[in-house]
Amino acid sequence: MAQESPKNSAAEIPVTSNGEVDDSHEHGFNRDLKRSLPAGLGLSETQITSHGFESTKEGVIEAGAFQGSPAPPLPSVMSPSRVAASRLAQQGSDLIVPAGGQRTQTKSGPVILADETKNPAMEKLELVRKWSLNTYKCTRQIISEKLGRGSRTVDLELEAQIDILRDNKKKYENILKLAQTLSTQLFQMVHTQRQLGDAFADLSLKSLELHEEFGYNADTQKLLAKNGETLLGAINFFIASVNTLVNKTIEDTLMTVKQYESARIEYDAYRTDLEELNLGPRDANTLPKIEQSQHLFQAHKEKYDKMRNDVSIKLKFLEENKVKVLHNQLVLFHNAIAAYFAGNQKQLEQTLKQFHIKLKNPGVDTPSWLEEQ
């Protein structure tokens, strides 16, 4: 008995002279492949078709229902011919085998990577992280200043102007409070004088023997009530102007001052961090931190300089506006009070006309905006 060849005949695929596969050995290869499958696994029948080199279905595996009978398994290692190995190697360069086992033919070309979409949650988390870090630095700076350990940047001229503004605001608020009290008391007095005048007038009609005496007192009280209403209008105008100056104009400037102070604290906090890093060692780990700290320090320095300039400008304009407003209002208040207590009704009315103050007649509602138009 002749010795069998180490190569299985089913693995040899002869090729004709023109490069095409000989179909006569194809069915034999399929039959031997069926015998090599173990019995009882319920696998599908596998058929490998080979055609010319230009065929688009080259290397496609077709599967069908298994109908053969069990056969003894063949060796698991098959040695294909050189031509088949060459053709499979050429096909492998254009095939991608995914996890599922299905082969997909791809075309070579440039690979374009799409930009990663930004995650809103990650952006919010980054903002919270930056805010927490900034708050920690500012809080540490404030505590260090209160304990006398940290240094702070001070603009002596600007700080003096801010202190004067805050002190003046307290004094103006006190004047405003006293003027409101005077207005309330004057209103009560005018209301009482009006009622007293009506009572005298009623008694003048019912008491014939005291007709003239009650009549004189009625006229006097009504005149005082009228002059009191005129003075009340001047005082209310004074209160409205001072209230606008204190609670709007000065308050707006103080809000800018608060922003300036916050910018100053941030500036000092990042300045302190940069100074601490510069005092430490300089190596590959600390140099990026120093560069980043220098960048943050420069950004907060620009913000601090801008806010300081804004505060200086607002303080200048506020001083000019304050002098103009208070000059007119103090002249009005003085002339109205002097004319009222002097009993000079004509001068009192002239004072209100000078400042374009219109009095509201008692018992008359305020006209609507359509009537004012």
Whose tokens are 């003046």? That residue is: 168
Distance (Å, rounded) from C-alpha 300 to C-alpha 298? 6
271: left (phi over 0), alpha (psi -120 to 50) or beta: alpha
- pLDDT reported for residue 260: 93
For residue 104, report the phi and psi dihedrals to the nearest 5 degrees. Answer: -125, 130
Amino acid 9: pLDDT: 44
CB burial of 184-197 (b: ≥16 within 10 Å; e: otherwise) equals eebeeebeebbebb
Q: Cβ–Cβ contacts within 10 Å for residue 200, how many?
A: 20
What is the spatial distance between Cα 3 and Cα 25, in angstroms, rounded to a whole number?
A: 22
Alpha-carbon distance 97 to 105, whole Å?
9
**Positions of the chain with pLDDT lower than 50, given as ranges:** 1-22, 25, 33, 37-80, 88, 92-115, 362-365, 368-373
Widest CA span in the chain: 170
CA distance 2 to 109: 54
pLDDT at 2: 42
Q: Could you please report the per-residue DSSP string of 1-12?
A: -PPPPSS-GGG-
- Burial grade of 169 (CB within 10 A; 0-12, 13-18, 19 or more): middle
What pLDDT is stored for residue 195 in this prediction? 93
The pTM (predicted TM-score) of the whole model is: 0.59
What pLDDT is stored for residue 146 in this prediction? 82
213 by DSSP, 3-state: which? helix
Give the Cα separation of 312 and 304 in Å (integer).
12
CA separation for the pair 216, 198 (Å, rounded):
12
